[in-house]
Amino acid sequence: MARLILQTAEGQQAIELRPVNSLGRHPNNSIQLLDKIVSKEHCIIEQRGDHFVLRDLGSLNGTFINSERVRGEAPLKHGDEIALGSTRGRFDDPGAPVAPPVVPGWPPMASPQGPMQGAPPAHGYPPPRDPGYPAPPQAQYPRPQPAPPGTAAPPHTAPPPRQQQHAPPPPLVQGPGGTAPLPGRPGAHGGTYLAQGTRIDVNDQARQIGTQIAAVDKGFLAFDRIANDINQLRADYERLRLSHELSREIAAERDTTKLLEKILTSVFKFIRADRGVIFLRDDSGELTPRAMQRRDGTTAPISVSSTILNHVVHERAAVLTHDAAMDFAASKGKSMILNRISSAIVAPLVAPLQHNNEVLGVLWLDSETLAQFQPKDLELVTAIAYQAAMFIEINILGKKIENEIVRRERFSRLLSPNIAERVLSGQLEVKRGGQRVEECTVFNSDIRGFTRMSESTSPEALVEMLNEYFERMVDTIFQYEGTLDKFMGDGIMALWGAPVAHRDDAVRSVECALKMGEVLGEFNRQRLEMEQQPLAVGIGIHTGPLVAGYIGSSKALSYTVIGDVANTSARLCSIALAGQIVISEATFAQLGGKFETEELQPARVKGKEKPLRVYNVLGTRPMVQVPPNAFSNPEPTNAAE
């Protein structure tokens, strides 16, 4: 089978020829040549019978066979050297005849020694072309003119049928996990093929945009395979050097904004881009620009093409376009023209540490110069994007860890340290939403005369006093394994029985209230020494069923309790005098006589039809002391005497 052996900057490749092969810089050509001085539609190599013919399409810099410029078209024979711009090729067809016959109805072919003699086909129409390829410029073939009167029109002779073409393998794209088929219609005339970095693009009617897909990343080959390939060794060394420099520049940066700026600065050292932008996904999943840079140092806004961005994110594949306005003409991407985007390399930032390969963002580089970037630039940017994504993801994960530490710290302020540790370790589950608790003791306290005190105290001094007071009170609550519910001005609300329950929650609550009195006494002595007014506190405690859980909006939740028990506790607190610990009958029933109490007058509280029996806790009941010689005395001893 006939082949075209191409020698490009990326190495040598062999391309099996189809019946019709279009060559040029535009991606719609069946063989795309990434050569600045090759025309968009440069030439066509097509099969006629058992031989191939090269037809120049009026290219600016011409097409040469064996150093002779092709004027129109010329036959190809085995071993012919072909030159298009700076690209060199060789026609390889050992089975081709030495002198191809002239096909009836076609003009004579040029010989290798000189230009073609003759004109376009007598009938005026171009030769048949493959339906999957773009038509050559119509100017090459003038429309037929009517024959003069009395003159017979020249007969139309059809060319011989073309050989059957086998369907090619699926096209490949560069993705985070290697190569994968390119979405689109498979078939003999569709897809993108990659060989040693040079793209061979076949027009596919199912594709909406004609972009160049990233070259296949071969990675680092084994040394014994490339020991004699100096070009490959040089390329691998350059990739390793640039990767090392990039890591050295950005690895230690933990501020994401500064990290992105450093990535762009490093990229500009390696790639000849005029503008660069890094997009990251925000909380809603939208791509937002987080860093941008211009080579000229100006700070003017940079406009990019949403068409290209959406394609890169959807395909998770890097894109190189030499002529954005032409490559994306099918998608009506007018922004490429308006924003003077000629060449662009756009690569996805794919999270390498996540199993689902999430696209974190996009690295955008563009230039106003046509064909500014080469396939080696695309391969380098793809590698840089992978490495940059890794560091960006590390920063994002680091931020999540910092937020988790803050969350743990805030949670630890809500629960006593030992309970908080059980919850955070997963030993104890705190469910979102409400959960009924059959028995919970609710504690409320506030400072007596606080309103009058605030009128004569500066706001700064008042806040400082409250912070010192709350610090001592909350430490006491946690000492008895209570849960801090909230601060309400100068008041404190705490729980025993949710989210962790003990059999003696009511006892713990009362013990905590008594201990608070001792701690408050020490605090007041310090205030008196500084000639400050002492504080007086009233406390109310009630026990019963309620609903406890995380309550609020999806963005602001707080752990609290709801029910009559919480309201009654607050009412008892409001009737407590300075220094009193007023408890309800339900709480009193749970104490088991452990405390000295006095029953107060029944209290009428809001929301209750009947007065409540309430008690004032005076202190802990002293335990009965047994004399050391009690068991040596045969006579029983009355513990009361």
Residues 382 and 472 in one domain: no
pLDDT at 164 over 70: no
> Which of 31, 57, 92 lies at the terminal end of a domain, its last residue?
92
pLDDT at 632 over 60: no
Residues 18 and 61 in one domain: yes
**How many domains in the chain?**
3
Q: What's the pLDDT tens digit per position in 393-430?
A: 888 888 888 887 877 776 776 666 766 776 777 776 66
Q: Residue 116 is encoded by which pair of tokens?
A: 């073609």
Distance CA 116, CA 332 (A): 40
- Whether residue 395 contacts residue 256, with contact meaning beta carbons closer than 8 Å, is answered with yes
Distance CA 524, CA 508 (A): 24
Indicate the range of 122-136, 178-192, 254-268 predicted with least confidence.
Answer: 178-192
- Whether residue 279 contacts residue 287, with contact meaning beta carbons closer than 8 Å, is answered with yes
In a domain, 382, yes or no: yes
In a domain, 568, yes or no: yes
Tell me the average pLDDT across 525-537.
Answer: 94
Residues 360 and 221 in one domain: yes
Q: CA quadruple 193, 199, 204, 206: dihedral positive or negative?
A: positive
Report DSSP state, residue 324: H
**Which helix (H) or strand (E) covers residue 230, if one does?**
helix 230-250
Q: Residue 110 is encoded by which pair of tokens?
A: 């040029």
Residues 465 and 571 in one domain: yes
Residues 499 and 384 in one domain: no
- Between the ranges 21-35, 154-168, 311-325, 427-441, where is the mean pLDDT highest? 21-35
- Nearest C-alpha neighbor of 6 from the set 32, 36, 27, 28: 32
Q: Residue 568 sits in a domain of what CATH number?
A: 3.30.70.1230
Tell me the average pLDDT across 171-196.
Answer: 32
pLDDT of residue 33: 87
Residues 379 and 445 in one domain: no
Q: Residue 302 sits in a domain of what CATH number?
A: 3.30.450.40
> Which of 44, 75, 92 lies at the terminal end of a domain, its last residue?
92
CA distances for 240 relative to 229, 348, 381, 594, angstroms = 17, 21, 13, 76
pLDDT at 622 over 90: no
pLDDT at 289 over 50: yes
pLDDT at 578 over 90: yes
Domain range enclosing 41: 3-92
Torsion, CA 197, CA 202, CA 208, CA 211, rounded to 10: 20
pLDDT of residue 325: 56
Residues 272 and 370 in one domain: yes
Residues 354 and 480 in one domain: no
In a domain, 285, yes or no: yes
pLDDT confidence tier of residue 348, bands split at 50, 70 and 90: very high
Indicate the range of 56-60, 76-80, 331-335, 451-455 predicted with least confidence.
Answer: 331-335
Which residue's structure tokens are 């590390």? Answer: 394
Whether the upstream peptide bond of residue 499 has omega within 30° of 0, thus cis, is: yes
In a domain, 185, yes or no: no
- Between the ranges 137-151, 212-226, 331-345, 601-615, where is the mean pLDDT highest? 601-615
Q: Residue 219 is encoded by which pair of tokens?
A: 């990675």
pLDDT confidence tier of residue 521, bands split at 50, 70 and 90: very high
- Whether residue 613 contacts residue 509, with contact meaning beta carbons closer than 8 Å, is answered with no
Percent of the chain with pLDDT over 70: 68
In a domain, 475, yes or no: yes
Indicate the range of 272-286, 329-343, 424-438, 607-621 predicted with least confidence.
Answer: 329-343
Residues 364 and 439 in one domain: no
- Nearest C-alpha neighbor of 210 from the set 134, 139, 276, 313: 134
The overall average pLDDT reported for the chain is 75
pLDDT greater at residue 453 or residue 442 = 442
24, β-bridge pairs: 32
pLDDT greater at residue 504 or residue 634 = 504
In a domain, 160, yes or no: no
pLDDT of residue 344: 87
Percent of the chain with pLDDT over 90: 35
pLDDT confidence tier of residue 98, bands split at 50, 70 and 90: low
In a domain, 129, yes or no: no
Residues 377 and 471 in one domain: no
- Between the ranges 284-293, 322-331, 371-380, 505-514, where is the mean pLDDT highest? 505-514
pLDDT greater at residue 592 or residue 306 = 592
pLDDT of residue 228: 78
Tell me the average pLDDT across 470-481.
Answer: 94
- Nearest C-alpha neighbor of 267 from the set 253, 254, 281, 249: 249
pLDDT at 299 over 90: no
What DSSP string describes 517-570?
A: HHHHHHHHHHHHHTT-----EEEEEEEEEEEEEEEE-SSSEEEEEESHHHHHHH
- Whether residue 182 contacts residue 172, with contact meaning beta carbons closer than 8 Å, is answered with yes
Distance CA 30, CA 190 (A): 9
In a domain, 589, yes or no: yes
- Between the ranges 130-139, 299-308, 337-346, 527-536, where is the mean pLDDT highest? 527-536
pLDDT at 487 over 60: yes
Q: Kindly report the number of other CB atoms within 10 A of residue 481's CB atom.
A: 17
Q: Residue 635 is encoded by which pair of tokens?
A: 């006579």
Q: What's the pLDDT tens digit per position in 351-363?
A: 877 656 789 999 9
Q: What's the pLDDT tens digit per position in 209-241?
A: 333 443 334 455 677 767 777 877 776 777 677
Residues 352 and 500 in one domain: no
Residues 348 and 433 in one domain: no
Q: Residue 70 sits in a domain of what CATH number?
A: 2.60.200.20
> Which of 64, 92, 120 lies at the terminal end of a domain, its last residue?
92
